[in-house]
Structure 1
Amino acid sequence: MLFLWMPHFSSWKKKEFVAKMRIWADSNSVLYLGHVAKNLGRMITESERELGTVRPLKKLVRGVYIDSNIYKSAIAMNIEYSLKTLGKIEESNSIKAILNIALETWLKKL
């Protein structure tokens, strides 16, 4: 399990902020990002929900429509969508690229 403090876009507040993000990755690339408000979080991926490997939360009932996609509050966003919301479409989904985004965020704050 990997966590990074990264930029995150709030769809309902319509602003970007720095948040603790859980990273789902394979050996070379990031697959999903999910905002974790506290502790280890209870966020799951869409594939975990579909496979039934993780019991869905009651929060999954609520959803937010963003660009004609529905994202439920306890489901992690795929990396392509996460990069799009941050205006980083040109970035790759490699672990190195995601680490660079996190580092750039903190360098701006110094």
Structure 2
Amino acid sequence: MRGLTIAVVGVFLISFLSGAIYLLGFDGLALVRDDADSKLLSQSMLASGVGGSIYCLRGVYLNACVFNRWTPQWMPWYFIRPFVSLFCGAVAFIFLKAGLLVMEAECNSPKK
């Protein structure tokens, strides 16, 4: 039973990761409209989905292989986490667009 639950979670996470990377290859694949904000929103969501699924795969590896403490009670978290990451990517995009989070870069090269 332990091996089956690990396999089910692993297949789901690898499928989710593959799908998110595939969709990122379509330049963000504007999910609603074909404008710059929609593309940036979908890219933010998909990138955070990639990060969330990689983090979950790391958790499966650590709990199943390294520490040998895999329990099926945590399975819902491994299925929900990638979707929570998608939502967090959308929230981060909204914070950036609203100006609540500012990212700046300055060029400090000397003028000649």
TM-score interval (norm. to shorter): under 0.3
Structure number with the higher helix fraction is 2
TM-score scaled by structure 2?
Answer: 0.24
TM-score scaled by structure 1?
Answer: 0.24
If you compute each CA radius of gyration, which structure gives the higher value, 1 or 2?
Answer: 2
Structure number with the higher strand fraction is 1
